[in-house]
Chain A
Amino acid sequence: MGQTKNVFRLLLLTFGMFGFGFGLVPLYDIFCDITGLNGKVTGPTISSYDEEIETRTMKVTFVTLNNKNMPWSFKSDSPQMKIETGKDYLMNFTFTNTTAEPMVAQAIPSVSPGRGAKYFHKTECFCFEQQYLAAGESITIPVKFVIDPEIPKDISSLALGYTLFDVTEQFAYK
């Protein structure tokens, strides 16, 4: 009978769309990777460039932020540097657990303007890694990066921002 068939099809559509809702999560990540939306950057990437590509100098700014009530001290060695595209650079970031408790933190990177994100290659970084520090402990971690010489001409400076999150509780789950 047509009725049962219709109901079955509509139920299928319902469950399909419920799945699609969750499917939006990976779709969104893929979309962000392609477009650089939200300054989303991927993990370490290694790339080499021909010497012949024209290079230029530009500014890179480093921003360190603490999320909510994150008590750690989190700083880069200098707030800004002049760089030449296509060359490797290094910037040190220092984390200090200022509390009397051991904690786990995670720094989430973001590049601004978002269009520039895909030209910002990090050859070594602490992105997406959880960092454990005992009470009062301190650690310095370098970020090595290179700016793709093919970055659009109208972008004269880039900002690499890190937001530090307290993930001690989430860490306890695992």
Chain B
Amino acid sequence: MSAVIESHHDDHHHGPAKGFSRWLYTTNHKDIGSLYLWFSFIMLFVGGAMAMVIRAELFEPGSQIVSPEFYNQMVTNHGLIMVFGVIMPAFVGLANWMIPMQIGAPDMALPRLNNLSFWILPAAFGVLLSTFLMEGGAPNFGWTFYAPLSTEYAPPTVTFFIFAVHIMGASSIMGSINIITTILNMRAPGMTLMKMPLFVWSWLITAYLLIAVMPVLAGAVTMMLMDIHFGTSFFSAAGGGDPVLFQHVFWFFGHPEVYIMILPAFGIVSHIIETFSRKPIFGYSSMVYAIASIALLSFVVWAHHMFTVGMPIAGELFFMYSTMLIAIPTGVKVFNWLSTMFKGSLTFETPMLFAIAFVALFTIGGLSGLMLAIAPADFQYHDTYFVVAHFHYVLVPGALFSIVAAVYYWLPKWTGYMYDEVLGKTHFWLSFISVNLTFFPMHFVGLAGMPRRIPDYAMQFADYNMIVSVGAFLFGLSQLLFLFNVLKCVYYGKSATAEVWEGAKGKGLEWTVDSPAPYHTFETSPDLTNPQTNN
């Protein structure tokens, strides 16, 4: 009997190859998911180091550590790396790992394309980071690269930047095509669209957003390239173009982009809250509709980033009201999370702590967003630290916390080992305190008029900036604890069960496979058509 099983096992066992070629040639969704996650983890420390340089320079008023030119390069590359190199690849990594397992599919629909979309990403960031070694320095025009700052006044390395953005865009588009095709074609029998886990739903919508706007970004940088090298005048007034056009094209991409960086977080947090509340998610279908309406609204609000550019009053009103409308589906989501926790039997393991902090702090970021949406008030807030506070609240304790929560939540499933809960909680509390210490005072200095992207500031902002810098250093150091905890889990963790969490029973197909998840899962689809198998 055992011999039969043994030989049967051998026939079907395609274990991972050995050495570096395993990672280079892999078409396995779990391997590629890990590659994405490690890549974004490394980039988190690269982009984080740049943030540390920024905060060190702003520790005191006056110019002390770096030149203003280098400061601009730090601000620009910090933004680009955190957006395109950390948050987006981390979500794609989670999608690669979890979507096939959550829908009962053996792998992604297009495994070779999957390999390609990952491996061009390090190439793109290699190109971007290599500009630091070039004459003229790295891009210095802000992550929004407004023309003519990024065309006429740009350093010569802007061409490398454009090339890097093209590659990142291609990677995102290929990844999205793969994700949509996987979700639409490879669900287990019986898993209808409205039975899909919310993380899968959030990624389905996010992937459509990516396909809709990444090509527009590619168009914008192509126009820049042509203006710089081929004598066209898309953004140059001298030839009949208009620099304001750049802002419209950029934010037509940019606003859906900021939702690309938060929608998967909504899915993750929904799973974690339902698991640790030991209840099903409250209002599943309203969650799906809320994500979809946020995504649709994201296409008609872009000009709220540019209220001060000189718009007709009707335009200001339109973009103001359409922006405020987004608060409604977002509010639905927040209330659904609260209702899920209401009367649940809650426990506060590390992923749950990060998820609850997400709900609270993301809401703060949402509320400052509503303040910024008020067109007449925006004239005061525009380009101040208030804006910096706002988008860091939605991206750090928002998107980044959800990724950290997801890693703690699914790490036992990936590795088969439990992380250290005490270390995890320490990591949480240090991050929670320092993230607020870093970003909350920015609201005050912003409202008082401190402009963003300037390496120096007036004396009256000195105290708050010192507090912010101390918070930032603490936050940076806390993330080393996260790295340590992940490594400790991989090498010295205690074995985890298949279900991992007490509350995970019946909370998705990923908890029905062993921990660690075998190299190949769901080679035969689980049949969900029978309502008895209630997974």
Contact = CB atoms under 8 A, between A and B. Distances in A.
A23 to B, nearest CB: 9
Contact of B240 (A18, A108, A114): A108
Contacts of B237: 67, 108, 163, 165
A67 B238 CA distance: 9
Interface in A9-56: 10-11, 13-22, 24-25, 28, 32, 35-38, 40
A164 to B, nearest CB: 9
A22 B238 contact: no
A108 B312 contact: no
A2 interface: yes
A115 interface: yes
Contact of A7 (B110, B310, B312): B110
Contact of B312 (A18, A22, A36, A170): A36
Interface size class for chain A?
Answer: 35 or more
Contacts, number: 99
Top 5 closest pairs, chain A to chain B, by CB: A21-B219, A165-B238, A18-B215, A17-B215, A21-B216
Given A10-B211, A24-B249, A106-B238, A17 B180 contact: no
Contacts of A108: 237-238, 240
A173 B231 contact: yes
B239 interface: yes
Contacts of A10: 176-177, 180-181, 211
Contacts of B239: 106, 167, 170
B216 A3 contact: no
17 contacts: A6-B181, A7-B177, A14-B173, A15-B215, A16-B215, A17-B214, A18-B219, A19-B219, A21-B215, A21-B218, A24-B249, A25-B223, A38-B242, A106-B238, A163-B237, A165-B238, A173-B231
B168 to A, nearest CB: 15
Nearest to B177: A10
Given A108-B238, A165-B238, A17 B211 contact: yes
Nearest to B239: A170
A170 B213 contact: no
Contacts of B214: 14, 17
Contacts of A114: 310, 312
A140 to B, nearest CB: 22
A18 B216 contact: yes
Contacts of B216: 17-18, 20-21, 24
Interface string B176-201: 11001100110000000000000000
B220 interface: yes
B240 A3 contact: no
Contacts of B240: 108, 128
Contacts of B470: none
B173 A22 contact: no
A106 B216 CA distance: 30
A13 B8 CA distance: 44
Given A11-B177, A163-B237, A28 B248 contact: yes
A30 to B, nearest CB: 12
B219 A22 contact: yes
Nearest to B312: A35
Contact of B185 (A6, A21, A67, A170): A6
B234 interface: yes
Interface in B236-281: 237-240, 242, 244-245, 248-249, 252-253
B193 to A, nearest CB: 14
Interface string B64-103: 0000000000000000000000000000000000000000
Given A35-B312, A163-B237, A166-B238, 15 more contacts: A6-B185, A10-B211, A14-B177, A14-B211, A17-B211, A17-B215, A18-B216, A21-B219, A21-B249, A24-B252, A35-B315, A36-B312, A37-B312, A165-B238, A170-B231
Nearest to A128: B240
B212 interface: yes
A18 B218 contact: yes
A38 B310 contact: yes
B311 interface: yes
B109 to A, nearest CB: 6
Interface in B124-181: 173, 176-177, 180-181
A159 to B, nearest CB: 13
A155 to B, nearest CB: 13
Nearest to A1: B185
A25 B245 contact: yes
B71 to A, nearest CB: 24
Given A18-B218, A28-B245, A173-B231, A3 B212 contact: no
B248 A7 contact: no
Contact of A17 (B212, B233, B242, B248): B212
